[in-house]
Amino acid sequence: MQVDGQWQHYTLHGLRRIDLNEPVSHISYYEAAAFAAWKGMRLPTEFEWEAASGQFSWGQRWEWTESAYLPYPGFQRVPGPVGEYNGKFMVNQKVLRGASAFTPPDTAVILTVIFSIHTSAGNSPASGLCDNLNYCFMKTLTVPQPPVARKHVNNFYRDVVNGLLAEHKHLDSKYFYDAAGDALFQQIMQAPEYYLTGCELEILQEQSRDIALALCALCSSFDVVELGAGDASKTSILLKEILEMGLDYTYFPIDISGSMINYLERTLPRQLPGLKVKGLNGEYIDMLKASADLTPKRRVVLFMGASIGNVPPQEAAAFLKKIREQLHPGDILITGFDLKKHPATVLAAYNDAAGITREFNLNLLRRINHELGANFDTEKFEHYPTYDPGTGSCKSYLVSLEEQEVQMGDALIHFAKDEAIYMEISQKYSAAEIDRLAQTSGFRCVRQFTDSKDWFVDAMWQCA
Ligand code: AVI
């Protein structure tokens, strides 16, 4: 409904403004299919969903498939009433796959079948509510969780328990990005205080031609590999510029999200006619290695955003060395770095007035509750960002507001009042530190492309 000219919807917390960055949710099969068609796509079949399911974070959502409720190949009905009940495959039903907050971690996913029944007042148990509506009746069956998903939960549980039982409690910021975390990060990037996205966008909008010219001056023929491509919205500006220079090249986006890779392979060639796209779904270094077998050309590797800042400088150097080991002399790396600047500007970016970054941090505690069955009360933790202008370390913590205990599986985690969990580092660099990092990791600095405020750098390095 519209309130004061703005679209709103009813949620469990009452009427809320529709956030256009949130995933589409609480919709019927027909709405999901229509939305997919509107986006030029289709819903996955149940089998496609299952093949891709290792990439999903569990306990977050149910997802519509376009499959009818049918038996798996080889299904045999067991004799007796159980077989009669479970062995009938009804018509006019579609399958939802996924898990909810209450799905036991590490043991099962729920296969849910939706019975779409046309009802009218007086003839259904829900008649008072849904006169002439299709209403859904859910049947749940537990099935073994696929091995990849189980591995994900095991690693997540192990990392969280180790981090929270350590003398100085810490969590790994790579776990921020479940579906809710992704949506919050999208909102952070639009927050007025979070300058990083705008600065790098400006570099790409204003200097893509210079970047493309510099690349062509270094090598006449190359392919482009991107680490953590995401939706490639910023990179596509540079990709377009390279195409317009008449270069015939392939773009290899690498991403841990299989659905993002599918999306890029479908949409980018339409958006940028002539662009060849071959997505690589997996970990950065593994996929970078795989890309070497797919092209004899030189590779230009992009590592944009300021993701390199999400590990301490020593780890950043070790990671850049690993990238270097996968490249050949003459290959190129372009990395985004956030520069040191006035401390208040940096701190505000991680402490936005609307409290989105606070929610982004607290969301990891909620994720641990949903996926690992913990009982964090997020009201009892305070978001506490810090910035040290000397070292350039911007660190976020969650501080326990009282002495408390949190249960997570067999582990009982004790928090003293004011005890902090170290959540994330967002390291800032000076131009000289960036050059030194290039040298220590086996690269030669070519050029630094900075925005008009000198707040952000896309640094171009060549393998020595
Ligand atoms: C993804 N990364 C570069 C962001 C940053 O600025 O460190 C993550 C972030 N954390 C809080 N706000 C944004």
For 336-374, letters b (16+ CB in 10 Å) and e give bbbbbbeeeebebbbbbeeebbbbbbbbbbbbbbbbbbb
So what's the pLDDT on residue 154? 80
What is the 424 CA–ligand 1 centroid distance (Å)?
8
Among protein residues, the one with the nearest Cα to ligand 1's atom 1 is: 307
What is the 390 CA–ligand 1 centroid distance (Å)?
20
Among protein residues, the one with the nearest Cα to ligand 1's atom 7 is: 426
Does the beta carbon of 307 sit less than 6 angstroms from any atom of ligand 1?
yes
DSSP string, 425-446: E---B-HHHHHHHHHHTTEEEE
Q: What is the mean pLDDT of each run of 10 residues along the chain (464 residues)?
A: 81 75 75 84 81 60 77 74 71 68 51 41 34 36 52 83 97 92 92 98 98 96 96 94 96 89 92 96 95 97 97 98 98 98 98 97 95 94 98 98 94 97 98 98 98 98 96
Which atom of ligand 1 is closest in space to residue 306's alpha carbon? 3
CA 324 – CA 320 distance, rounded (Å): 6
Which atom of ligand 1 is closest in space to residue 307's alpha carbon? 3
Condensed to tens digits (0 to 9), the pLDDT of residues 94-108 reads: 777 766 655 554 444
Q: Which residues, in sequence order, are bridge partners of residue 189?
A: none
Condensed to tens digits (0 to 9), the pLDDT of residues 105-157 reads: 444 454 544 443 333 333 333 333 333 333 333 344 444 555 555 566 688 99
CA 172 – CA 161 distance, rounded (Å): 11
Does the beta carbon of 306 sit less than 6 angstroms from any atom of ligand 1?
yes
Mutate to test the pocket of ligand 1, among 182, 426, 429, 457 (most ligand atoms within 8 A of CB): 426
pTM of the model: 0.71
Does the beta carbon of 385 sit less than 6 angstroms from any atom of ligand 1?
no
Domains identified in the chain and CATH numbers: 2-145 (no CATH), 153-176+344-427 (no CATH), 189-339+429-463 (3.40.50.150)
- Count the Cβ atoms, other than its own, within 10 Å of residue 142: 12
Which atom of ligand 1 is closest in space to residue 360's alpha carbon? 11
So what's the pLDDT on residue 108? 46
CA 177 – CA 161 distance, rounded (Å): 18
As a 3-state breakdown, the chain gives helix, strand, coil percent values, each rounded to 5, of: 40, 25, 35
